[in-house]
Amino acid sequence: MKFLKKVPGGFIIVPLLTAILVNTFFPSLLEIGGPATALFKNGNAAMMGLFLIVCGSAINFKEAGLPLYKGSVLLLLKFIVGAGVGYIVGNIFGPAGVLGLTPFVLISTLTSSNSSLYIAMSSEYGNASDTGAISIFSIKDGPFITMVAMGMTGLADIPWQQIVAMIIPLLLGAIWGNLDSEFKDLCSKAQPLVIIFMSFAIGANTSIGTILQAGFSGVLLGIISLVIGILYFFLYNLFLKKKTALGVLLGTVAANSALTPGIVAEADPSLQPYVEMATAQAATASIITLLIAPVMLTYFDKFVKKKYGPERLNEQPNLKQ
C-alpha cells in the first residue's frame, strides 16, 4: 500500500498496468474461469456498482451555503465545457475525432477531474467551503456524467435504463451515507480496495500495444486539459466575489476516467472499438495533469494575490447577500 501511495494515481495506475502486462504476456491466466475470471477479467461492471455506492456516500445532503454553491458551479462548469468540447469535435470531425482523440475520450476525461488533488490543495489554497464543495462536485466521479453528456450531445445512444442503472447505486450510497455515518466511514475506507480491483479488471482487457499507440495522443490530451484549466480559472472566478486559484485544478484528468470508457461502452456497444485506446489515453493524461497542475496552481495563486490582494481572496459568491 505504501508503494501505491507513492505513485501518482497509484491505486488506479499500478493495478491497471499490472493487468495490462498480464493480459499481454499471460492472457490464459485471466481465462481460467470461475470466480478468478469473473473478478479479474469481467468484474468491472460489478466493481463500478460498488464504486458508485462509495461515491454516493460522500455526498452530504446537509451541505448548504457556500459549499453547495461552489460545488454546483464547479460541477456545471466541468459538464458544460467538457461536453461542449466533445460535441464540437464530434460534429466537425466525426466519431473518429482528430489527432487520435475521439469525442468519446474527450468527454470521458474533460468532464472529470482529480478529486483527491482538489481536496489536498483546497486545504492549503482555499478554505473549508472549498473543501466542502467536493460533496457536490464529486458527482462527476465515475461514468455517470459521461453517460449523460454522451447521450445529451447525441454522440452515443445511451438507453435511459442505463442512466437509471447508474443513478440507483449512487442514490443508494447517498441516502445510506447520510443516514448512517458509520457506513460513510466504511465506504471511505473501502474505496481504495474497490478501485484497485476495478482498475485491474479494466486493464485485463487492454494490451501494451495500445498503451504505446496512445503515447503522443495521451500526452496531447493531458496538455489540452491543462490549457482548458486556465479557462476554468477565469470562468470560476466570475461566480465568486472573493477570488481563488482553485479553478485551475479543473484542468486535471481523474485517474478513474481510465475506467469510464469500458463502462460507458457497455451501455452503447458501438463505442467498444474505441475503449482500449481511450483507456490508455485517459491513464496517460491523468498522470500528466497530476504532475503539472500543482505547479500551475502555485502560479495562479500568486497571480490572484497580486491582482486582488488578500482581502478579496476566497469567501463569498458573486451574489447579493
Task: Give the pLDDT of residue 236.
Answer: 94
- pLDDT bracket for residue 227 (50, 70, 90): very high
Q: State percent of the chain over pLDDT 90.
A: 26
CATH 1.20.1530.20 fits 2-312, yes or no: yes
Most confident segment among 14-23, 56-65, 207-216: 14-23
Q: Compute the distance between CA of residue 113 and CA of residue 254 in angstroms, rounded to an integer.
A: 4
**Statement: residue 319 has pLDDT above 50:** no
Q: What percent of the chain has pLDDT over 70?
A: 92
Per-residue cell: 224? 489540452
The rounded distance, in Å, linking the Cα atoms of 309 and 287 is: 33
pLDDT of residue 182: 93
| Cβ-contact 18, 10 below 8 angstroms | no
Rounded mean pLDDT, 90-103 = 93
Return the pLDDT at 260.
87
CB contact at 8 A, 259 and 146: no
CA distance 254 to 243: 24
Confidence of residue 321 (pLDDT cuts 50, 70, 90): very low
pLDDT of residue 204: 82
Task: Please give the mean pLDDT across all residues of the chain.
Answer: 83
Mean pLDDT of 193-222: 81
Q: Maximum CA pair distance of the chain? A: 64
Rounded CA gap, 133 and 317, in Å? 13
Distances (CA, A) of 272 to 81, 87, 118, 266, 320: 24, 19, 31, 8, 48
Is the overall model pTM greater than 0.85, yes or no? Answer: no
Axis-axis angle for helices 260-267, 275-308 (nearest 10):
120
Which residue shows C-alpha cell 489554497? 125
Angle at 164 between CA 163 and CA 170, to 5 degrees: 95
